[in-house]
Amino acid sequence: MVLAAGLGTRMRPLTDDRPKALVEVGGKALIDHTLARLAEAGVERAVVNAHAFADRLIAHLGGYSGPLEIVISDERQHALPLETGGGIKAAATHLGEAPILVANIDSVWIEDQEPPARAIDDLCAGFDPERMSCRLLLAHMGRTTGFDGAGDFMQADDGRLTARRTAKAASAPLNYMGVHIVDPRPIFAYPETEFGLFPAGGGLWGGWEAEGRLYGLVMEGDWMHVGDPEARDVAEARLARGR
C-alpha cells in the first residue's frame, strides 16, 4: 500500500499544481523513488491511494513502465484524504487480509550496504505475526534530515518499541521512516472512516505498543524525510553525493 493521497500543505508552493507524490527529488518524482524501492524488494503489486490532484497522479502512474502492477484506490468521493489508517481501510478490497507492506511517498534513503539494498526485505522477513501486529522501519536520529522533532521511538533489545511521548522522555534515538509491515485486519475493523494509525491519543499503534506487539527494524544508512521545500533541497544534495 502506497500512501499518496495527502494534500502536501507543508510542501507548498511545490504542491500548488501537483500532488506531493509528484514533487521531484534528484530528478525523479517521490512516488517513483517509492515504487523503485518496492520493486527492488520483490513487491509485485502496489495499491496507491489518490485524492489531491488525483488526475495528475493517475496519469503519471498510467505511464509507469516498471515491474509492479499498479492499482488505484480513489478517495475523491471523500471531502478530504482519509489519513493513514483510513486510506488503508478504504483499500481493503484490493489488499486482502494477509500482512501488507505500507509506504509513505515522502521517504528517501541511502543504505550503507552495497546494492541491492536490504532494508525492506529484512523488515518483512523479520515480521512474526504471532508476536507482532506491526513492524516499523526506523532510522537513527543522527542520520536523519528533514525531521522536526525529538525522535519517535526507543527500542528494547528484542526489538519492541516504546514511543517517546508514551515513555515521557525528552528525546528518542530512532525515527519512523514511513515504511512498515502490518496485520491489516484491525485497521479494516476500526470503527472510523478517517483516522491515523498513531494519533496523539494513542491509536492502533499505541494499543499495540501497550500490548508489546509494536516492533521495529533499524536501517543502517541516511534517511531523508522530504516534507517541505527545504527538506527537498537537502535530500537532493545528499542524493547527488551518492554513497
Of the candidates 127, 141, 223, the residue with the CA atom closest to the CA atom of residue 178: 223
The conformation of residue 117, written as its DSSP 8-state character, comes to: P
Q: What is the DSSP letter of 160?
A: B
User: What per-residue confidence (pLDDT) applies to 112?
Assistant: 92
Mind giving me the DSSP string for 187-201? Answer: HHH-S-SS--SS-TT
- What is the three-class DSSP state of 179? strand
Q: What is the dihedral of CA 209, 204, 152, 130, to 10 degrees?
A: 40
Rounded CA-CA distance 200/19 in Å is 26
Q: Going from the N-terminus, what domains does the chain have, and what CATH number goes with each? A: 2-241 (3.90.550.10)
Tens place of pLDDT per residue across the chain (243 aa) = 999 998 888 889 988 989 999 999 999 999 999 999 999 999 999 999 999 999 999 999 999 999 999 999 999 999 888 889 999 999 999 999 999 999 999 999 999 987 778 999 999 999 999 999 999 999 999 999 998 788 889 999 999 998 877 767 778 899 999 999 999 999 999 999 998 887 554 689 989 999 999 999 999 999 999 999 999 999 999 999 887
Q: What is the pLDDT of residue 32?
A: 96
Q: In Å, what is the CA distance from 49 to each residue of 20, 67, 134, 159, 215?
A: 12, 19, 20, 30, 25
Task: Report the candidate in 79, 78, 67, 94 with the shortest Cα–Cα distance to residue 2.
Answer: 94
Q: Is the pTM of this model over 0.85?
A: yes
Distance CA 135, CA 50 (A): 25
